[in-house]
Structure 1
Amino acid sequence: MSTLYIREAKDDVMIISLYVDDLLVIGSNHAQAEEFKKSTHSEFEMTDLGEMSYFLRMEIDQDADGIFVNQRKYASEVLKKFCMENCKQVDLPLVPNLKLSKSDEAEKVDEGLYRSLIGCLLYLIATRPDIMYATSLMSRFMSQPIETHFKTAKRVLRYVKGNTDFAVCSGDQKTSNDMRSTSGYAFFLNCGAICWLSKKQETMAQSTAEAQYISDAVVVSQAIWLRKILKDLKLK
C-alpha cells in the first residue's frame, strides 16, 4: 500500500503522508493545502488538528530556527510503565565487550514483558539512531529471554533516560551461536540524521568481503530510494 503521495502544481509541491488513519500534509502553498483539506473533509469524517505538534508519539517543535523532533513524553511513559522513573542513568546503551547468547543457562523471564519492552524501544528508534544497534541486538532474544537479556534491555532504557544527545557505543557486542553479520547505515541531510538502520543480515556470508558486499547493497538501495524522493521534492 502506498503511504507517501506527492502532488505538483506549477512550482508548488504538496506532500501527503498516510499512516493507518493519520494524515500528515506538507505544502509550499498554503491555499493548496487548505483546498486539499476541504476536499478530503467532504469525503471523509476527519478532524483537523492544525499545525503539527504531535504525530505518532513524536513531538514536533517548529520555529524560526528549524523543525525539531523528539519523543521525550513517550520515553517518560515507557519509563513509568516499567517502574524505572527513578532508575540510575548510564552513559552507554550496552556494556563494552558484552557477550550475549541464546543458550545461556540463566533464569528465564516473562516473554510478554520482554517483548513489550523491546516493542517500546523499537518505537523509540524513530528519533534515536543511537539506540538502533542495541535495540536490534536485544530483539534477537524475544524467544525465551533470560534475566541477562532483560537487564541489558532495561539498560538501554536507562541510557535513554540520561541522554538526549547521541553517543557511539564502544566495544564489540557479540552473540554466540550466530555467524551472521550486521548491516547498518545512517544518512544525514543538512547535518541531521534522516534515516538509519542496524539489522542482522538474512544470509550467512562465507567471508568478510561477502558480508561487506551485502551491507553495501543494502546501503546503495536506500541511497537510490532517497535520491528519488529528493528529486520528487525538487531537491537535486
Structure 2
Amino acid sequence: MIENGFRRGVIDQTLFIKESGDDIMLVQVFVDDIIFGSTDQKMVDEFEEVMQKRFKISSLGAINFFLGLQVDQTEKGIFLHQSKYVADILSRFKMENERVVKNPLSANHGITPENTGAKVNPTLYRAIIGSLMYLTASRLDIMFATCLCACYQAQPNVIHMLAAKKIMRYLKGTPSLGLWYPRRDRFELTAYSDSDYGGCKIDFKSTSGGCQFLGSRLVSWQCKKQTAVAQSTCEAEYIAAASCASQNPVNHSKTKHIGIKYHFIRDCYEKRLIDVLQIGTQTQRADLFTKAFDRPPFLFLLNVLGVRERADVVSDKELLK
C-alpha cells in the first residue's frame, strides 16, 4: 500500500488513504478482507488492477454485507443495519415466539447485584450478552441496556436473565432498525457527552456516555463505566467530557485525576480545538448511553441520533446493484 502512494492512518493502522487533487481513496483492511472506495472511479479501477497483479483476489463489487453488518446503498445515502444477525440470535436463543416489548430497558428496571434470586446458567447468559454486544455495532438503542447486563456475568441470577431476554424481545419488534447516512449533508464535527453519577450498584462508579456526529450522521458512540470513582456530579461530567473529546487518541483514557481532565478540556478549548457548550436536558443526545428511558423520550433520542427503520429510508427498487 505504501509503495503505491498510500499513507497509513495515524490512529487506525489498518486504514490507508490516498489523495489525488480533490479526490480521495480510502482502503480498510480486515485480516484477509478489504473494503475500499473513492470519489473517483479511476482510482478504484487502478487500485483493483494493482491488487490483482500482486495477489490472488476476487472483487465482489459494491458492498452489501460484511462481518454481520448489512449495507444498503442508494442515490440518497447509505443505511447500515444488522437485520439478519438479529434474526440469527433470536433463533439461536429460541426467542422467535416471545412477546414483543417496546423498550429494551424500563426506566425503573430495578437491576441490582443482589444474589437473592435463583442462579441461572452463566454460560448461556454470557453467550447472550456476547451476541448482544456484537449487535451494538449498529444498534446503539440497546447499548446501555446491554452494558448494564454485562456487569453481572460472573454470577447472573434470574433477574439479570430476564433483563437480557427483554432486550431480545425488544429486538424482535425492531429487527430492521439501523443508521441512516444521507449523501448530501454537512460535515462539521459535533460531539455530545454526559454521565450519570455513581450509577453502578456494584462499585458506585459513574458511566460516561458520548456520541460524535459529522453533520447529522452519527459516526461514533460510547457507553463506558469510568475508571475512577467520581466524588461529585461535576467530576463525573469532566471525566465524561474528556473521554468524549479524546475519543480517538485513546491514551488519554488512562488518566484518572480530575485536575488532568479539567486542564485537558481547558487546553483544547484555549487552542480552539473544541468549543464547549451547555446542552439542555431535552436535547442531550448522549443521555441514551447513561440511563434508561420511558417510551416517548426513548423514541425522541433515537430520532435525533439518526436511527431509522429500513423501510422508511430505503426500498429494494432504490438499491444500487
* TM-score w.r.t. length of structure 2: 0.64
Which of residues 132, 136, 143 in structure 2 aligns to 1:121?
A: 132
Q: Distance in 2 between matches of 1:23 and 1:130?
A: 28
Which of residues 56, 60, 75 in structure 1 aligns to 2:86?
A: 75
Unaligned runs of 5+ in 1: 167-171, 229-236
Q: Map Cα deviations across residues 189-236 of structure 1 (whole Å, 9 max, x no partner).
A: 3433221111111111122211111001011112789xx9xxxxxxxx
Shift of 1:132: 1.1
Give 1:176's aligned residue: 201
Give 1:20's aligned residue: 31
Which of residues 147, 151, 154 in structure 1 aligns to 2:158?
A: 147
1:182 touches 1:198 (CA, 8 Å); kept in 2?
yes
1:1-236 aligned at under 5 Å gives the runs: 2-163=13-174, 164=176, 175-222=200-247
Shift of 1:173: 11
Q: Distance in 2 between matches of 1:58 and 1:173?
A: 34
Unaligned runs of 5+ in 2: 1-11, 179-196, 251-272, 274-321
- What secondary structure, in the 3-state scheme, does the structure 1 residue paired with 2:125 have? helix
Shift of 1:175: 4.4
Please give the root-mean-square deviation of Cα atoms over the aligned residues, in Å: 2.3
2:100 touches 2:173 (CA, 8 Å); kept in 1?
yes
Shift of 1:40: 2.0
User: Against the structure 1 CA distance between its residues 208 and 101, is the aligned structure 2 distance closer, same or farther, given a 3 Å change threshold?
Assistant: same
Q: Distance in 2 between matches of 1:101 and 1:41?
A: 56
Shift of 1:56: 1.6
2:198 touches 2:205 (CA, 8 Å); kept in 1?
no
Aligned length: 221
Q: Map Cα deviations across residues 15-36 of structure 1 (whole Å, 9 max, x no partner).
A: 0112222211011111211221
User: Against the structure 1 CA distance between its residues 80 and 93, is the aligned structure 2 distance closer, same or farther, given a 3 Å change threshold?
Assistant: same
2:199 touches 2:206 (CA, 8 Å); kept in 1?
no
Give the letter aligned to residue 177 of structure 1: I
The percent of aligned pairs where both chains have the same amino acid is 38
Q: Distance in 2 between matches of 1:43 and 1:108?
A: 56
Q: Distance in 1 between matches of 2:164 and 2:147?
A: 10
Between 2-11 and 212-221, the greater mean CA deviation after superposition: 2-11
2:198 touches 2:230 (CA, 8 Å); kept in 1?
no
Shift of 1:174: 5.1
- What secondary structure, in the 3-state scheme, does the structure 2 residue paired with 1:75 have? helix
1:100 touches 1:175 (CA, 8 Å); kept in 2?
no
2:199 touches 2:207 (CA, 8 Å); kept in 1?
no
Give the letter aligned to residue 206 of structure 1: Q
Give 1:169's aligned residue: none
- What secondary structure, in the 3-state scheme, does the structure 2 residue paired with 1:119 have? helix
- What secondary structure, in the 3-state scheme, does the structure 1 residue paired with 2:247 have? helix
User: Against the structure 1 CA distance between its residues 223 and 175, is the aligned structure 2 distance closer, same or farther, given a 3 Å change threshold?
Assistant: closer
Give the letter aligned to residue 76 of structure 1: A
Q: Distance in 2 between matches of 1:112 and 1:38?
A: 47
1:94 touches 1:156 (CA, 8 Å); kept in 2?
yes
1:99 touches 1:173 (CA, 8 Å); kept in 2?
no
Give the letter aligned to residue 187 of structure 1: Q
4+ residue runs of structure 1 moved beyond 6 angstroms? Answer: none
